[in-house]
Structure 1
Amino acid sequence: MTTTAPAAAAPGRVRPLRRAPALAAGLVVGLVLLAVLAVVSVGVGARQVAPLDAWHALTAFDPTSFDHAAVRSRVPRTAVALVVGAALGLAGTLMQGLTRNPLGDPGILGINAGASAAVVLGIFVARVSDPRGYVWFAFVGAAAAAVVVHLVASAGREGATPVKLALAGACVAAALTSLVTAVLVTRTDALDTFRFWQVGSVGGRDLSQVAELAPFLVVGAVLALASGRMLDAAALGEDVARGLGQHVGRARAIVGVAVVLLCGAATALAGPIAFVGLVVPHVGRAITGPDHRWLLPYSALLGAALLVVSDVLGRVVAAPGQLEVGLVTAVVGAPVFVALVRRRRLAEL
């Protein structure tokens, strides 16, 4: 009997190691499929371009070809969809892990509301009408809202617990939304400018805007990918995490900074886009299980793929016009999320 116990326990210990090659292979396959989606994205539009011609436009550009010129003009929106989708996928996973709330998304910490309020004030006070101008208002507003939420949740003896963070985020979001509404109903010119940003779009941006926000996205992604062990320990509860030697306050601060950088930059770049940060972590968890060291990179990959596919669908369904990606993600994400939450195993963290 003494020899069978280790044999029975061994499979449980080596099973994660055996899954690692399969999960790594899945990431490689996912990256290849994402590259294919990107090529399809630059080929779809008012002027349809075959995938092979789109690839040639990227690798051997001919300035005299109208097809190649059309493909090159779609590169910025595809790049925006890739980086924003990856950022929102990572941020949603971090939020759900940090708050231990399966409904966590960029709205749970008031980030979308903070960005929206700052953009409205930028339009109302500074008369900003160009996306290059209010992108920084959105970023600062998102960061400020997250700081306020954390300060409010930190009040009291227990500090910023997951429940208090969620409640504080809901309260701050409600207050900021009321402020936005109060400004917009009195200024129709601000409403006309704000509504095009509020719907969420990857069009009308260029690569220089991506480059401006790239440092924030890179730092946020590095912090996110490095926080997998901290989130795994936090999922066991604060007492267990402290018993494992983790500094809970420091872990929350690192994850919070990553969330602010990722969500703030993504929201500033493309506007508030719903359901990506909410649905993607649940889909990734169905593939990888609860291990955040694998869940985080899968969430980045799935988020990028979801936003690229949504952007392509928006151009195909409404051709020769287009639907903004924020509308498409809501239509696509809602039924997927309903199907996921009906399965109790995926709805719990």
Structure 2
Amino acid sequence: MKHRVLVVDDEKDLCARIKRELDKEGYEVAVAYDGVEGLEYFKNNRVDAVIADIKMPGMNGLEMLEKCRAINPDFVPIIITGFGDHEKAITALRLDVFEYLRKPISLEELISMVDKGIGLIESRRGFSARKRELEIEATLKLQYAERIEREKKFSDTIIDTIPESLLVLDSDLRLKRANRTFYETFQTEPEEVMGSSIADILHGNDGRFVTKLTRLFGTKDVLENFVLHYQSEKRGERIFKITARGLLIAEEEEEEEEEEELVVIEDITERKLAEDKVKEAHRLRENFLKETSHRIITPVTIIGGYIDLLLDSSNLDDAQKERIRTIREKNEEIQKLVKDALTGNYLKEGGDG
């Protein structure tokens, strides 16, 4: 896109000469013959440089430039002065006019001034554009950081509601982060344990645990269902089930990947105690059933044998045989009940009912 220069002077011949030379240099040139006309053109067009005579009818060059600057300050102002306009030229410089020339002007010098002015404004525009880019980039970074912070708070809130203890360890197996459940479970505070080794935190003398955690680094392996017995003055004896796996975390500033390890600790003390109680109750039940059923099944079996003998006897009438058959049915029900108790079928049928 060509740079546009506006030439404003009431001397038409001078305007034509300036336009002709600037056209040769590749500029797009517009001409106005007084300040009012020049200002109107400036309002409606993009202008990169304005060359204006100070003395013009209607509106002088300084007044026009001041009004142009109020509309859009992004242009190069150059003043042409006549003899006796020295004081006005000084005023022009104070108004941030780029340069001024005395009449009769040197076209070569004028073109050089325009070139320098255009170069300056291009640099200024580039700087302004870069400044805007940096401001936009800073705004986007701030918005991104705020979003990340909101997401982190949201994630932390979710993590803190997880009933298991979550720990992040560094490559030396030292604590870097933990959720609220961890501090509540171990009745401690971050400043007391942050940076401590996992072995010290868990009071673990079991070297197998530390060895297994160390071996996870650099692999995709997962440590699952590792049961650890824990003893402390605050919590007493606890039983933990531990799951762990290695993580790779990208560090943007250093452009390196840092190895970390995620450890999940579940307190299964109450569950283990409940399971042990259930196992003990089951064992007592089995012993009870075996003992009592043995004492019941033996006489019941003998009674069944005698019933069969009675039924085979020919000395009984039909009514007596019917009563004995009823006794045999009841005896068989007792035998089935005992056998079901031994196999567990009785409890299953009772639960279904």
Which is greater in Rg?
A: 2
Fold similarity call, TM over 0.5: no
Structure having greater relative contact order (Cα 8 Å, sep ≥ 6): 1
User: Which structure carries more helix by proportion?
Assistant: 1
TM-score w.r.t. the length of structure 2 is 0.21
User: Which structure carries more strand by proportion?
Assistant: 2
TM-score w.r.t. the length of structure 1 is 0.21
